[in-house]
């Protein structure tokens, strides 16, 4: 296992004893709203870093409207720049995982001395019960849910919120809480959305996509 860890995650030792927020998504394309969420994670959750996990493909989204991986990876990389506590990762490609539950399980196995927090928007929380092994995710690590325009009510009334309602904690306690635990964070809303950007860019964004 140590040999495999060194091959797949040569950076693993650097994060021993630290807390990392896992911010998964298609980033199709990335926008300033994504960066704002990451900044709020660093500010309010007490994490050491935020990892943007660029998904090779989203099982719940139309592949015909998804740009190729490298294009999406570069879009979030350009947005983050050289921020020392924000890292853009291709770990799901390296692990060969398709579902978030599998990615989380693999990371926790390969990095047992690193604490992880899952980050998602309220729009994803509204459909979280459609994710593969969603209850397993909730029991595996704390979850930070960030408000999104138009999804405040839907997110907090989602099936997840009803099933795990008694495990809701305040944002400042999330990093110290044992799973299951989740917090809903309101932040200054950003008008950007990947859908609107794709509509504005049209075929330019998908150019070169197979």
Give the bridge partners for 24, in sequence order: 53
Residue 152 pLDDT grade (very low, low, confident, very high; cuts 50, 70, 90):
confident
Q: What is the model's pLDDT at position 192?
A: 56
pTM of the model: 0.85
Closest CA to 147 of 189, 108, 90, 96: 189
The domain total for the chain is: 1
Give the bridge partners for 118, in sequence order: 22, 143
3 state SS for 6-69: HHHCCCHHHHCCCEEEEEEECCCCCCHHHHHHHHHHHHHCCCCEEEEEECCCCCCCCHHHCCCH
Q: Which of 18-27, 46-55, 133-142, 194-203 has the lowest mean pLDDT?
A: 194-203
Between residues 140 and 33, the one the model is more confident about? 140
Q: What is the model's pLDDT at position 34?
A: 92
Q: Is the confidence at residue 56, as pLDDT, over 60?
A: yes
Residues of the domain holding 46: 2-206
CATH number, residue 178: 3.40.50.620
């Amino acid at each position: 296992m140590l040999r495999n860890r060194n091959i797949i995650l040569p950076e693993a030792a650097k994060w021993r004893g630290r807390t990392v927020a896992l911010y998964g998504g298609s980033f199709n394309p990335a926008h300033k709203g994504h960066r704002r969420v990451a900044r709020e994670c660093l500010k309010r959750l007490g994490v050491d870093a935020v990892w943007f996990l660029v998904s090779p493909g989203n099982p719940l989204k139309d592949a015909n409207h998804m740009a190729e991986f490298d294009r999406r990876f570069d879009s979030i990389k350009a947005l983050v720049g050289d921020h020392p506590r924000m890292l853009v990762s291709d770990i799901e490609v390296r692990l060969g995982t398709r579902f978030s539950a599998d990615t989380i399980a693999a990371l926790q196995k390969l990095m047992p001395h690193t604490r992880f927090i899952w980050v998602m928007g309220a729009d994803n929380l509204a459909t979280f019960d459609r994710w593969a092994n969603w209850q397993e995710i909730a029991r595996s690590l704390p979850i930070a849910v960030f408000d999104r325009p138009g999804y405040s009510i839907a997110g907090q009334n989602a099936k997840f919120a009803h099933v795990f309602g008694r495990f809701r904690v305040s944002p400042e306690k999330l990093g110290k809480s044992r799973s299951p635990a989740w917090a809903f964070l309101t932040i200054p809303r950003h008008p950007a959305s990947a859908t609107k950007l794709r509509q504005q860019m049209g075929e330019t964004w998908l150019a070169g996509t197979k």
